[in-house]
Structure 1
Amino acid sequence: MSDFDALMEFQRTTEALSSVAERLGWDQETVMPRGATEQRAEEIAAMEAVLHERRTDPRIGEWLDGAESEIEDAEDARMLELIGRDYRRQTRIPARLATELARLTSLSQGIWAEARSSDDVASFLPTLSDILMLKREEAAALSDGGNAYDALLDDYEPGATAASISDIFAQLRPRLVQLRDDVMGAENQPAPLDGQFPAETQLRLARQCATSFGYDWSRGRMDLAVHPFSSGRWQDSRITTRVVTADPFNCLYSTIHEVGHSNYELGIDSDYAFTALGGGVSLGVHESQSRIAENQIGRSAPFTEWLFERMSEAFGGLNITDPQDFYASVNRVTPGYIRTESDEVQYNLHIMMRFDLERDLISGKLDTDDLEEAWNARFLRDFGVAVDKPSNGVLQDVHWAVGLFGYFPTYALGNVYAGCLNKAMRAALPDLDASLIQGDATPAVEWLRENVHRHGSLIPPVKLIEEASGAEISAEPLLSYLEEKFGAIYAL
């Protein structure tokens, strides 16, 4: 057996085990008995120990060296590049650290959820402090004397740096703040959707929405979670949502968002399954798929007209009786605390705040004991609203509880990427609105599958988006889209 073939066979088993570990995480967040938290933490830690041992196996380095002369095409070269990159990163992380992080972040999910439900920050801070110390150690190991935050960011968005992210945020912030101020001060304010909407009916509609986006139910399923997410790849990619009886948009658009993620994974070339090419290339690209599904498509006027009819039928009428008013209500810009429920105008402002806070946490400029105060002060400054309780503030997101430092900026990058892709997609599909008004988003999904999904990790993130959109990445398409859309809704 050649070195290349031996490496691919070894990688196949590693990818399969990684998929099993991911399924343990899905189970923990959806159907696992609450009393099984400690057992699951040990199971996940054991899996991580096995995976870390495989990912740092010295034979990988030997196979990589030997396989260089056996490369036959660009796919072979890219697989070796990705495996080599992961191998170099993993060998810098001590097995003890990898295992302890896996164990602690598994335990912390339940601790965070309990703290959030009881608005008890103090009960969560000791665990968060322990996680932060481990992440600082990990960042130091990966950075090798360089920028610690960049080392963590590179795990989610290869090639990106805090400096490059800051440049993009500098482009976004002034126009987003101006647009928000103009919208908030506009005379024309859309009416909210009022009422109580039964959970079972919401979930039935959520399934209809998922189907309208071409979600493959033979390779997926939908469950409930505190914090909606998607999980899995290849032949098994699952989605979760949540239900708030007074806010059906929360359920419906969480579902569409997660379908965007799952469609990406399910749309990757099947030949890439169990290889280094068989997953989304970066978190920013992944987020672009969920955000374009949720916003540019799902919150568009034609799709909301279809949704208006479905909701009116399902709930026996709504307090909003006109499709255009319904479209405006779906896209209302309002003061609010929760990132995942934020409108398109303010969403990136939430990310910018978290980006600054977590950089300070990793650098040691900010400690966990001072995090709530720092969060509340920054939120008041950025949004003009005082945080009323921790579940609406520092406890609202699970990311830090599971050690995802460096993850938040990819959400904003995803919005920028989505703006670029939407511009190109609309040019390529001039009749898309005619399908959307019928509740059929599959032409858009098929365009995305051809230009983004099928490639998996074959093409690096920036190159992939630029090739798909036919232009250099810029915040301008996103900003122009937002200014045009909300300028019309609010008659600016």
Structure 2
Amino acid sequence: MMSYDALLTYLRTTEALGQVAGRLGWDQETVMPEGAADQRAEEIAALEEVIHARRTAPAFADLLAGANPVDDVQRAMVARAQRGFDRSSRIPAELAAEAARVNAISQHRWIAARKAGDLAGFLPTLQQVVALQVAQAQALADGGDAYDALLDGYEPGMSAARLTAIFSALRPGLVDLRAAIAEKPPAPHLNGHFDEAQQMALSQELALAFGYDLSRGRIDKAVHPFSSGSGADVRITTRTDAADPFNCFYSTIHEVGHATYEQNIRADFALTPLGEGVSMGVHESQSRIYENQLARSPAFAGWLFGQMRDMFGDFGISDAGTFARAVNRVAPGFIRTEADEVHYNLHIMMRFDLERALIAGDLAVADLEEAWNTRFAADFGLTVPNPVMGVLQDVHWPAGLFGYFPTYALGNIYAGCLHQALRADLPDLDDALAAGNPAPALDWLRGKVQQHGGLYAPADLITRAAGFAPTEAPLLAYLQQKFGALYGI
């Protein structure tokens, strides 16, 4: 036990430093002075050097070798720590620090480029980011597939080949459902001006309803909503649009799904490799099931309709049923984060193919916009009018997050599996949702998924929770049933 305890002490210090690095990133996206960007990049790079040194230190290797775990939790802890050591050891310290520095600078420049619509001015920075990602991918792959090496950092055990098979099985059902909906009358839009301060007030009520503990978190605004941190300090951001309050409300609920996953992990796992979500696919399963299967359900939408009428008055929709169709409006659009459930995964499949080509060297950064626009026209039948509506819309590539995008679609698939099992266990859930109370579902997710943190491998965790191995079938069945009822298909 003494040798294992020594390892745990070492790990907790390293994880604490990682949390500090995350806080620097949160600050950069929310309240950092604009003129501090270059200095912040140097600070992040310096901290990455310290963390990388700890993650690859010979003393750490010795602690791992002598840990002698005696139960399942200890064995999982050592295995996760060993995995981290192995991955970090393949990347030279100088490369890790330089990538952290450039990614921080790039993220700040992306905000300015997105605001100005200046893709040409941003491309040299993006080229640097991609070059550093390729270098890290090749170091991690050690002769294997470079993209798989990046993907494994977000979804352990997954491969591009496996994702291609999953997406190939998912795409036809989505395309057929989209075509069927397109033949029906469109769902209504909201009309009116929705005060942004009032939006933030209602978004906080929604966050609390979905279990977010504000004594261990906070809600701020950012260009791109995100969740940051774990354990006792988990922060989220959202955004507002005076013409579209759904953007604020559902972004908030989505990020609360991420945040409560982190807040609900076993307290004794805090500041250890088990004290965070096991993968981004599982993480996304929580945010998507909160946002879509629960908060966009007709039952919960009926409650939200009443809340919005009380706060904003008449906004052109007369009844809860029509409001539920507005909440679940299906139409092709340019922006991934605003996409409906039917189109969303098609956005992800496009990004998956493009980023694989970038990492493989089959697509040059200079040709990315043309490739994006051509593929978007083929998949969505729309001509991208400008880079803000196209390749500049997402923060992921500017921030060096290659291999991240496909986990969004995988999270939807996991959410479909969990939702099927959840509904079987909670047949009266709609009664609670209609009263604005998702607690029964949240308790189920906390017990089946969230409390375990990194204890189980991603697919094993979903299998344990749902009672069957992950498959795209429950997601397709849910979408067909829900939108078939909403659109009379």
Same fold, TM-score > 0.5, yes or no:
yes
What is the aligned partner in structure 2 of residue 363 from structure 1?
A: 360
What is the aligned partner in structure 1 of residue 109 from structure 2?
A: 111
Selected match of 1:425 from 405, 422, 426: 422
User: Which amino acid in structure 1 is aligned with residue 153 of structure 2?
Assistant: D
User: Which amino acid in structure 2 is aligned with residue 13 of structure 1?
Assistant: T
Aligned pairs for 1:75-154 within 5 A? 75-154=73-152
Secondary structure at the counterpart of residue 243 of structure 1? coil
Report the alpha carbon displacement of residue 63 of structure 1 after superposing the two structures with TM: 1.6
Q: 1:174-229: CA deviations, max 9, x gaps? A: 1101111111122x322111111110111111011111111111111100000000
Aligned pairs for 1:292-331 within 5 A? 292-331=289-328
Aligned length: 489
CA RMSD of aligned residues (A): 0.8
User: Which amino acid in structure 2 is aligned with residue 22 of structure 1?
Assistant: G
1:460 aligns to 2:457 (yes or no):
yes
Name whichever of 22-31 and 429-438 sits farther off. Answer: 429-438
1:168 aligns to 2:166 (yes or no):
yes
- Within 1, Cα distance between the matches of 2:50 and 2:450? 30
- Within 2, Cα distance between the matches of 1:356 and 1:295? 25
- Within 2, Cα distance between the matches of 1:169 and 1:125? 29
User: Which amino acid in structure 2 is aligned with residue 122 of structure 1?
Assistant: A
Aligned pairs for 1:219-230 within 5 A? 219-230=216-227
Report the alpha carbon displacement of residue 56 of structure 1 after superposing the two structures with TM: 0.5
Q: 1:61-112: CA deviations, max 9, x gaps? A: 2122222xx2110011011101111101101100010000000000111111
- Within 1, Cα distance between the matches of 2:6 and 2:481? 54
- Within 2, Cα distance between the matches of 1:217 and 1:64? 36
Report the alpha carbon displacement of residue 3 of structure 1 after superposing the two structures with TM: 2.8
Q: Structure 1-normalised TM-score?
A: 0.98
Aligned pairs for 1:472-491 within 5 A? 472-491=469-488
What is the aligned partner in structure 2 of residue 444 from structure 1?
A: 441
- Within 1, Cα distance between the matches of 2:313 and 2:2? 66
Secondary structure at the counterpart of residue 154 of structure 2? coil
Q: 1:299-327: CA deviations, max 9, x gaps? A: 00110001000001100122001100000
Report the alpha carbon displacement of residue 438 of structure 1 after superposing the two structures with TM: 1.0
Q: Structure 2-normalised TM-score?
A: 0.99
Secondary structure at the counterpart of residue 124 of structure 1? helix
Report the alpha carbon displacement of residue 241 of structure 1 after superposing the two structures with TM: 0.2
Name whichever of 173-182 and 344-353 sits farther off. Answer: 173-182
What is the aligned partner in structure 1 of residue 45 from structure 2?
A: 45
- Within 2, Cα distance between the matches of 1:234 and 1:196? 37
Report the alpha carbon displacement of residue 413 of structure 1 after superposing the two structures with TM: 0.3
Report the alpha carbon displacement of residue 259 of structure 1 after superposing the two structures with TM: 0.3
Secondary structure at the counterpart of residue 329 of structure 2? coil
What is the aligned partner in structure 1 of residue 231 from structure 2?
A: 234
What is the aligned partner in structure 2 of residue 24 from structure 1?
A: 24
**Structure 2 unmatched ranges of 5 or more:** none
- Within 1, Cα distance between the matches of 2:481 and 2:431? 20
- Within 2, Cα distance between the matches of 1:428 and 1:238? 31
Report the alpha carbon displacement of residue 255 of structure 1 after superposing the two structures with TM: 0.2
Selected match of 2:351 from 334, 344, 354: 354
User: Which amino acid in structure 1 is aligned with residue 57 of structure 2?
Assistant: D
1:338 aligns to 2:342 (yes or no):
no
- Within 2, Cα distance between the matches of 1:274 and 1:230? 17
Misfit runs of 4+, over 4 Å: none
1:286 aligns to 2:283 (yes or no):
yes
Identity within the alignment, %? 57
Secondary structure at the counterpart of residue 153 of structure 2? coil
- Within 2, Cα distance between the matches of 1:396 and 1:64? 42
What is the aligned partner in structure 1 of residue 262 from structure 2?
A: 265
**Structure 1 unmatched ranges of 5 or more:** none
User: Which amino acid in structure 2 is aligned with residue 474 of structure 1?
Assistant: T
